[in-house]
Chain A
Amino acid sequence: MKLAFNLAYKNLIGAGLRTWLNVGVLSFAFVLIIFYNGMIDGWNRQGREDTKAWEVAHGQFWHPEYDRLDVFTIIDAHQEITGTAAEYVSAGKLVPILLRQATIYPQGRMQGVLLKGIPHQQAVLELPTSVLQYNENAVAALIGHRMAKAAGLKVNDRLLIRWRDKNGTFDAIELRIAAIFSCDVPSVDNGQIYIDFDQMQKMVGLNNHATLLVKGTEEEIELSNWDFKNINVLLKELDDIIESKKAGGIVLQAVLLLIALLAIFDTQVLSVFRRQKEIGTYIALGLTRQQVVGIFTVEGGAHSFLAALVGAVYGIPFFLWLDTVGISFGNVDVGITIAEKIYPYYSIGLIFTSILLIVISATIVSYIPARKISGMNPTEALKGKLQ
């Protein structure tokens, strides 16, 4: 085996340009696979972290009738916070949120929004809700930068909001934009206005009612009358998109890897064909044909080791650089959680799987042509006759 590696190394280096071409293409496949998956993983991790921080924390308890994709469920999907739930809420471990459909009139236009009542003193979500405690002249409201842009609102703007109270009667009040927050999670921003939880109760004529409870603690909480949605359920949309991006990337990676493997395959076919005399010599020197197959397989497979080395030479600085600057997607608003700048995340698992994938596939494509050697007649091989 050591002999095979030694010989492989010498033969590969001796082959010069051809080797480096193969290695170059393969190393590029290497770097691309790691880069692409690292980027997706980075996006995924950041997306999950941001969504946790801004929206779901450790999961949410929903009123059994609440369906976030169906706005008509909102009017009835609320209930009083009692018993265990109340204890956790007062301990700050559950954050109640009451939802209500409402209408605003920015610049004379009419726009439907989702009004969210959230305790201003909550410390579970990143939302800067503390600004919601000052309701002197007008009700303090908090919105995200997407909402601000869509409705043309600035800090300290005032606007009229209309909603139905618990009896279905329309009511209206003036809101003051107390702050505009910026975050990467569109689902806590688009079309939403936050006001203080107690203020909201007063406005709709309910007392201590919530649509959902955000779980702000790791500890297990059992609540009857509330349906628990864990983070995976709540992040399903993001997961689905990331899965589809991954699948899309696989095509590109597979094509590149295939080109690289084809180059190695071609080199191997040529080697086995042109180096018959050498093969015959190995056999005359006392190697079995299987050992010669092994030598050629190792030689072809060794392209992948060189590719890993070469890939590391330019890949590592590239990755480190990306890690400091991040990859900017500009201000594209695609409706899913995507950070303004993605910092690729390279797990040991990713690197290890990529190396394994490339080494194994390179060895397989090297073995297939080399296998022909085991059927070679050594005397014919020594003559160097074409077969």
Chain B
Amino acid sequence: MNNVVIDLKRLTKHFPVGNGKFTALSDINLSFSKGEFAGLVGPSGSGKTTLLNIIGSLDVPSEGSANVLGKSIAGLSQKQAAQLRNYHIGFIFQTYNLLPVYTVYENVEFALLLQNMTEGERRKAVMQALEWVGLTDKEKSKPSMLSGGECQRVAIARSMVKQPDIVLADEPTANLDSKNSHHILQTMQRLNEELGVTFIFSTHDEKVMQYLKRKISLADGRVVNDETVELIANR
């Protein structure tokens, strides 16, 4: 496969529990190419969030290696990891995680403030991102005034505004109703197709699965199935 953006080899993650350790991920071998629209599915506790966190450089593997955009996650300093996230990785959370004191505009702008951009460049990027998610008319609203679906669209805009290589979405639709879920997924699908951004979801939502081009099933920290869209469609 060309254009590999994420490469996981023999990745294992232990958590210390009491005197022993708990193995949340074991011997994961996966790679993702640029532009994938993939999902990690599996029951609660199967290790989806743990895996996304490692890809997002918020955590490190206990064994094996995780290479993201050519960088080994375990070898990054705090500052390098922060840089990687700031420029290349967008996060979308189940609970939106918007900053309540900031307006929609400021929430989306936040990540750009850490980058070397002029005010004008930022404005352009933010308005573009708000346009992608259809929220240009809400730029001055505070998150508390928005619906859950709108909040998640702001979160998508925030993750997309820096034009990242990878967007990691941890159960993005878990708090949304069916209509909003579809809207969100269609938005992300469009961005994936138009901008070639790699999306990786974690989900146990059936609605999400019908959009996936690749579905990776986890159980007890292991990959039990990894199928692409053709296989899903052929079933």
Contacts and interface: CB of A to CB of B under 8 A. Distances in A.
Contact of B95 (A11, A277, A284): A277
A278 interface: yes
A262 to B, nearest CB: 25
B83 A286 contact: yes
B99 A281 contact: yes
B101 A283 contact: no
B98 to A, nearest CB: 8
Interface residues of B, number: 26
A288 B102 CA distance: 20
Contacts of A286: 82-83, 85-87, 111, 114
A233 interface: no
A283 B110 CA distance: 12
A285 B111 contact: yes
Query: Range of interface residues on chain A?
Result: 20 to 34
B21 interface: no
B101 A10 contact: yes
B101 A285 contact: no
Contacts of B93: 281, 382
Contact of A379 (B59, B79, B83, B158): B59
A104 B174 CA distance: 101
Contacts of A3: 113-114
Nearest to B81: A288
B58 A379 contact: yes
A281 B101 contact: no
Contacts of B39: none
B177 to A, nearest CB: 23
A287 B114 contact: yes
B210 interface: no
Contacts of A379: 49-50, 53, 58-59
Contacts of B158: 285
A255 to B, nearest CB: 33
Contacts of B91: 284-285
Which residue among A278, A286, A289 has the maximum number of chain B CB atoms within 10 Å of its CB? A286
A108 interface: no
B111 A281 contact: no
Contacts of B99: 7, 278, 281
Contact of B97 (A7, A11, A281, A378): A281
A168 interface: no
Contacts of A377: 59
B56 interface: yes
Contacts of B85: 283-286
Mostly, the A contact residues are helix
B100 interface: yes
Interface in A258-280: 277-278, 280
A283 B100 contact: no
Contacts of A290: 78
A283 B82 contact: yes
Given A285-B86, A286-B85, A288-B79, A14 B58 contact: no
A378 B53 CA distance: 9
A13 B142 CA distance: 14
B104 to A, nearest CB: 14
A10 B143 CA distance: 14
A287 B85 CA distance: 9
A289 B59 CA distance: 13
Which residue among A7, A290, A378 has the maximum number of chain B CB atoms within 10 Å of its CB? A378
Nearest to A2: B113
Contacts of B110: 285
Contacts of A288: 78-79, 82
Nearest to B56: A284
A79 to B, nearest CB: 80
Interface string B47-59: 0011001001011
Nearest to B49: A379
Contacts of B50: 379
Interface in B123-140: none
B173 to A, nearest CB: 18
Given A378-B59, A379-B59, 15 more contacts: A3-B114, A10-B101, A10-B102, A14-B101, A280-B58, A281-B93, A283-B82, A286-B82, A287-B114, A288-B78, A288-B82, A291-B82, A378-B58, A382-B53, A382-B97
Interface of A: 3, 7, 10-11, 13-14, 277-278, 280-281, 283-291, 377-379, 382
20 contacts: A3-B113, A7-B99, A7-B101, A13-B101, A14-B100, A283-B58, A283-B85, A284-B58, A285-B85, A285-B110, A285-B111, A286-B86, A286-B111, A288-B78, A288-B79, A291-B82, A379-B49, A379-B59, A382-B58, A382-B97
